[in-house]
A and B are shown apart, each in its own frame.
Chain A
Amino acid sequence: MFAVVQFPGSNDDRDMRFALKSALAVEAALVWHKDPELPPDTEAVLLPGGFSYGDYLRCGAMAHYSPIVAAVKRFAERGGPVLGTCNGFQILCESGLLPGVLIRNHHLRFVCELLHVRVEASRAPFTSRARTGEVLRIPIKHGEGAYTADAETLDALERNGQIALRYCEPDGAVTDRANPNGSLRNIAGITNEAGNVLGLMPHPEHAVEPSIGGVDGLAILGSLVDAVARK
């Protein structure tokens, strides 16, 4: 069973569940932020986008101390796959499961657009359905998505192959022009060192239907489904 966590202010929780069900035939349980434990049969955890706890203080800062995030941390430390999109990425950074932080878009505007990201490495559990270097077209929608970390951390991410996705041109070129928010080194998504936790600002759950812009989100969600099925 997949688990989608609901915080007060989450707004992509049902979209995520719908995407898994309609495009990948995977059932996901909605898990409330006050629950002290994940369901015992949880195989993967998804932290959805939204504005958990109103984004008060800093995006993701309050969610970090909700009971369910302690359970998600334990799940991740046992090697369980955890995927956070948008606000979920912010929560993963604030809770220390991923390094760095997402700050206000450098131009201060909320961005909502379909754009391109390059898959930096094809690997389980999150990108095995894509080729290394493949360009995916996936939407973003956020006001605070500028990935920020000190140079030492960024170098370590590069060295360890933890950068999963970068904002790019349609042909895959990583340029300043393709960077929608000021993220350092065009980072759109990173994993932890073990590779079982992914945070990304783009929304794969919003790219699963040809009629609303494409199905490239399945490269990520489908990879996770494959990884869980192989276990």
Chain B
Amino acid sequence: MKALIHVTVKAEVLDPQGKAVQRACQSLGYAGISDVRQGKLFEIELDADSEDAARRLLEELSQKLLANPVIEDYRVVSVDD
């Protein structure tokens, strides 16, 4: 199976990298770009008996390793055969 997990910086936490990218957009002349938040996208290949089992495993993995709950949120975007 293939899965995508999206990890984002929580809205209330400052994202200095996103801010820098936003400023770079401004200086390139894209005046309408008012905010950028930088996250991570994990493309994962895994073996699992069912989509449910895969999602359970991915939830666990996200909480344990892929995201730090103090500053980040995660979302399992898709699980495909």
Contact = CB atoms under 8 A, between A and B. Distances in A.
B28 interface: no
Contact of B70 (A65, A104, A108, A148): A148
Given A57-B65, A61-B65, A65-B65, A108 B71 contact: no
Interface of A is mostly: loop
B57 interface: no
B58 to A, nearest CB: 16
Interface string B1-24: 000000000001110110010000
A148 B71 contact: yes
Contacts, number: 37
B68 interface: yes
Interface in B5-54: 12-14, 16-17, 20
Contacts of B70: 93, 99-101, 148-150
A103 interface: yes
B14 A182 contact: yes
A103 B14 CA distance: 9
A10 interface: no
Nearest to A144: B16
Contacts of A108: 16-17, 20
Interface of B: 12-14, 16-17, 20, 65-66, 68, 70-71
Interface of A: 57-58, 61, 65, 93-94, 99-101, 103-108, 146, 148-150, 182
